[in-house]
């Protein structure tokens, strides 16, 4: 039975890698890494192993922080939600948008949060 579980895990990893490579160049932006997988693959992977979902959540939190760092005049308040709320949002988004990239789910999550604009004389990040 353990062998079967290992084979399923390997199959999901292989499908994830292929899916990411094939879909990473959709649209105007090019994604690499864990966020380049489809929501459909994310759903299959998280059902096989909760650890996969946790690893993707780690990536998502970093990507969300990067989105904020790229905003010179404001930020989305990432602290208004707990990690479990982010996880639930990403699950629901991916369930309703299986062909979307996981990174798009994260983008939509971040843009659903309150936006704080900085005064004109301030910029973020401070240099």
Report the b/e string of 42-61 with b at 16+ CB within 10 A: bebbbeeeeebbeebbeebe
> Do the beta carbons of residue 34 and residue 47 sit within 8 Å?
no
Q: What pLDDT, on the 0 to 100 scale, is given for residue 73?
A: 82
| Mean pLDDT across the chain | 79
pLDDT in tens, 35-59: 889 999 999 999 998 899 999 999 9
Q: How far apart are the first and last CA of the chain?
A: 55
Provide mean pLDDT across the span 66-92.
92
d(CA 24, CA 33): 9
């Amino acid at each position: 039975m353990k062998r079967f579980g290992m084979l399923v895990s390997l199959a999901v990893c292989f499908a994830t890698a292929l899916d990411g490579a094939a879909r990473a160049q959709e649209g105007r932006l090019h994604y690499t890494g864990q966020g380049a997988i489809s929501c459909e693959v994310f759903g299959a992977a998280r059902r096989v192993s909760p650890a996969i979902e946790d690893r993707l959540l780690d990536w998502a939190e970093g990507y969300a922080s990067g989105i904020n760092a790229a905003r010179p005049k404001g930020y989305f308040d990432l602290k208004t939600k707990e990690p479990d709320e982010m996880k639930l949002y990403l699950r629901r988004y991916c369930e309703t948008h299986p062909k979307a990239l996981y990174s798009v789910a994260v983008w939509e999550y971040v843009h659903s949060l309150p936006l704080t604009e900085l005064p004109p004389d301030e910029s973020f990040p401070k240099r």
